Amino acid sequence: MRINKDMKMAEVIHLNHHLLPVLNRFDIHLGFGERSVETVCRDHALNIDFFLEIVNTFHDPSYFPVRHLQSFKASMLIDYLQKTHAYYLDFKIPEIRQNIRQITQEGSLQNSHKKLLEDFFDSYQHELTTHINKEEQRVYPYVISLENTLDNPASTVKELQEIGRYSILEYEEDHDDVEAKLFDLKNIIIKYLPTSKNNKLLNVILHDIFELERDLNNHGHIEDLILVPIVENMEKALRARLNKLSANV
């Protein structure tokens, strides 16, 4: 079922509670009363079409309006993606790490296995952090200043040329799969980690990993299939403008 603007926001959560962290990224918080999706978006000064497309891609992974989404502003998208990063690094990863630490203190795992689990997760955390830092320090700032330069009718040739020195192609080519280790961790815990008693905390950890994996999948999908095409269009516009300017000289 597609989520639409006339549904009550409360209904949306009943339909799919996995959307709760997504709502947080739009700074929407609980206590909707009877308000509709449209009203809540208006109250928070959000672009309703953008909101609907994001929640629908998350709600139904087979739904992907590749073409439609490209009409949105890059800055809107980046704001959403950055909040998603913050959710991973400041909340979800530390939460899983905390639970792993707790489970290794409980004494239900062998000593050598504890260390394996902790080290593996630490190396994953490192990998994810490196991936995200690269995007936040290099790629996103480029996209924002590309958009600003294009939006400003007074941008000079020099400014246009300067921004054209980087290309999103570089990102497209080495944007790697950040879920692989998580996928492995899931199978290691489910299939291979010997546990001596029925461990409820391990269930919590697994549940969190599934959730994080699904979220990362959607996130990477948005970066590859929406952000990259939007930026490619902007780069096209940039080249057209430079050609026009140089023809006028």
Select the residue interacting with another protein from 56, 108, 129, 217 (CB under 8 A). Answer: 217
Select the residue interacting with another protein from 4, 123, 233, 246 (CB under 8 A). Answer: 123
Q: Does 120 bind another protein (CB under 8 A)?
A: yes
Select the residue interacting with another protein from 165, 191, 200, 244 (CB under 8 A). Answer: 191
The stretch near another protein (CB under 8 A) out of 85-93, 145-153, 215-223, 241-249 is 215-223
Select the residue interacting with another protein from 116, 144, 242, 245 (CB under 8 A). Answer: 116
Nearer to another protein, 61 or 94 (CB): 61
The single residue listed with the structure tokens 């990477």 is 220
The rounded distance, in Å, linking the Cα atoms of 208 and 198 is 18
Q: Does 228 bind another protein (CB under 8 A)?
A: yes
Nearer to Fe ion, 147 or 223 (CB): 223
Strand partners, 117: none
Q: Does 196 bind another protein (CB under 8 A)?
A: no
The stretch near another protein (CB under 8 A) out of 38-46, 76-84, 146-154, 225-233 is 225-233
Work out how close the CB of 219 gets to Fe ion at its nearest, in angstroms, rounded to a whole number: 6
The rounded distance, in Å, linking the Cα atoms of 199 and 95 is 17
Joined together, the tokens standing for residue 12 give 């949306």
Specify whether the CB–CB gap between 4 and 52 falls below 8 A: yes
192 interface partner picked from Fe ion, another protein, none, CB below 5 to 8 A per type: another protein
For residues 179 to 218, the per-residue mask of contacts with Fe ion, x marking binding by CB under 5 A and - elsewhere, is ----------------------------------------
- Number of amino acids touching Fe ion (CB under 5 A): 2
Nearer to another protein, 35 or 113 (CB): 113
**Residues engaged in binding another protein (CB under 8 A):** 61-62, 64, 66-67, 112-113, 115-116, 120, 123, 176-177, 180-181, 183-185, 187-188, 191-194, 217, 220-221, 224-225, 228-229
